[in-house]
Each structure stands twice: as structure tokens, then as C-alpha cells.
Homo-oligomer: A and B are copies of this chain.
Amino acid sequence: MKQNPTLKKIAERLSVSISTVSRALKDHPDISAETKKKINELAELLEYDPNPYAVNLRTHSSKEFAVVVPSLSNFFYHSFISAIEEHARSFGYSVIIYRSSNDPVIEQEILKSCRHKRVSGIFIAITSETKEMEPFLKLDVHGIPVIFFDKVPQYESCNKICVGDELAATIAAEEIIKKGITNVIGIFGNKNMSITKARLSKFNSVLASNHTDMDLKIAYANSSEESEIQTMSLLSEFEGRKFAVFCMSDEVLAGSMKAIQRKGLVIPDDLGVIAISDGMIPKLFYPEITYAETSGYNLGKLAFDRMMRCISGSSFAQTIIDESKLVVGGSI
């Protein structure tokens, strides 16, 4: 059970004081070049690294960010985290990832732990059940910036980075219109989520405003399985006619695709498919599914920039929208 080297050990071996070692290691001007060299060499040799607990206890700063997401099995979050990590690393921060399992209770615990660990900042996609804003405000009181992303609260005065739901829905709707399709099945997610509402209302209005004879059938699904069932029953409605299926997320897309395959329908001959997605699921099929892209990586970069601004002090609450673009597959 070896001990890690400490300032004290280095100091003793070199017959200098602990403070000298500490200062030498951070290139303090008070220490002579000669002494610095000696100390740095020994530190190198011993593979000295400051004990983060002691540093934190002393300085109250941890140089690490927390990312909290409901789930990890999600390409979107994955690429978001990639962006955060990449940028954080270059600023000397490390990032730790928490998973709330979409459970508000666990989310609370995580937040508390973040507070006590005095993380430098938190990126969080809240659970669909999160109602209380108070824990987040408390973090603010303690000087820990919070950046909400993707799944954000209604609450106004906080930092939010979101995908452009309206634009994404518009892009998808316009593509359908462009193809001259007037029979549309729309599969959406949980009815209560703000993102569902935003995407639906925009999708609806764009379609309606362009075609008076638009026939749009809507279903909500909380899971892939539900989506499959809903799609299954809606598919029969347009039997024989030219129509399209729109899926507002990867989760529902997965279910819908299964229903389509089950029916033995051929894309794009029998029907068109279009989705809002990060691009993982659409690329599993042939033809690849056309989708309005929501880029986790972009969002991560935006969120990180925002975070650095907060840390540097210039922090007024702000909502940033990342606009998506159409990625053409062959599905419509």
C-alpha cells in the first residue's frame, strides 16, 4: 500500500520547506531558477501530483465539470458529452458524467453531491418529471453555474441551450410538402414534454398552412414499443395512397420502422419516412432515413462556451438555440 508522494516528502529530500516546493512547482517568481530546477526534477522522478482533495479543501475549486443526463444509451447525449470533454480537456478541466435514470430523486442526489464536491459547473438535461427549480437556484447561490441543455425547464431566467425544435419541425414538414405528399402520419413523444409540444405545433402549422387538403394523423408514444403499436394501426389508414411518416425522435423512429418492416412496406416506394434525429438510427437502414439533424456535438460546443462565460463572471441568463439542417437519405 504505497503512498503517493507529497510536498513534504519532496521538501525533506531536498532540505527545503514545503512552501518552497509548492511555489517552485507552480513557477512562482519568488523561487530561484536553480531551486526550481532541482524541485521539478525530483517531482518528475517521483511522479508527484497534487492531492486533489487537499487542493480543493484549500482552494474551494475542483476544476471539474459535471454532466448530468437521464440516460447514456443515446447517441445525442453521447456526442454532446464528447464535445464537452474535448473542450474541457483543453482548458485543464476534467468532466464527470452522471446518469439520473430519468428519476428526479436520483437527480436531486446527484445535484447535492455536485454541490458538496464543489464542481466548477454543471451541464444538465433534466428528467421529464423535474418540477422543482429550487435545487438549481441553490447551486447558483453557491456559485456553481448551471447550463441546461436539450431537456430544459420552463423557468425563464436560467441558461438554456436547446435544439431548434421549431426549425427542425419546419424543415421536416417542408420536405414533405416539397414531395407533394398530403397524407401524413406524425408520431410524437411524451405528450407532456415541452419539446413534443414545440415540435408538434410547428409541424402542424407548417403543413396546414401549405395545403388545405392535408390529412394529418397524430399519435403519441412514450417508448419504441408504443410507437410501433401506434404506427401499426395508423399505417392501415392510408392503404394504397401515397403518404409519409414523420417521427419526432430516434426513439419513436425505431418503433415506427419496425412497424413499417412488419407490414412489408417498401421505402420510399410505398411511403416516405422522415424524422428529427441525431443521425444514429437513420443510418442503420437502407435507404437511409432523411432527417432534420439535431447535433449533440454542436450543442455541446455552444454549452461549453456559455459555461466559460459564466465562470469568467459575465453571466446573464440566456437561451441559445442551435439550428438544425436537413440530412438527405433516400427515404422520402
Contact = CB atoms under 8 A, between A and B. Distances in A.
Interface string A46-57: 000111111011
The DSSP consensus for interface residues of chain A is helix
Contacts of A113: 52, 94
Q: How many copies does the complex hold?
A: 2
A50 B112 CA distance: 11
Q: Which of A72, A115, A117, A283 has the most CB of B within 10 A?
A: A72
Nearest to A71: B78
Nearest to A66: B96
Interface stretch (A35-43, A172-180, A181-189, A253-261): A253-261
A201 interface: no
Interface string A106-134: 00000011011110000000000000000
A94 to B, nearest CB: 6
Contacts of A261: 285-286
Contacts of A1: 141-143
Interface string A73-92: 11101110110010000000
A97 B85 CA distance: 12
A208 interface: no
Contacts of A142: 1-2, 4
Contact of A99 (B52, B97, B118, B286): B97
B73 A112 contact: no
Contacts of A4: 115-116, 142
Interface string A1-26: 11010000000000000000000000
A45 interface: no
A166 B79 CA distance: 33
A97 B78 CA distance: 12
A299 to B, nearest CB: 16
A71 B259 CA distance: 30
A227 to B, nearest CB: 12
Contacts of A116: 4, 49-52
A55 to B, nearest CB: 9
A261 B257 CA distance: 13
A110 to B, nearest CB: 8
B94 A2 contact: no
Contact of A284 (B53, B118, B254): B254
12 contacts: A1-B141, A2-B141, A4-B116, A53-B54, A53-B56, A81-B99, A82-B101, A85-B101, A96-B98, A254-B284, A258-B283, A258-B284
Interface of A: 1-2, 4, 49-54, 56-57, 71-75, 77-79, 81-82, 85, 94, 96-99, 101, 112-113, 115-118, 141-143, 254, 257-259, 261-262, 280-281, 283-286
Given A53-B53, A262-B286, A284-B284, 17 more contacts: A1-B143, A4-B142, A52-B53, A53-B54, A53-B57, A72-B77, A73-B73, A81-B99, A96-B96, A96-B97, A97-B97, A254-B284, A258-B284, A258-B285, A259-B286, A261-B285, A281-B284
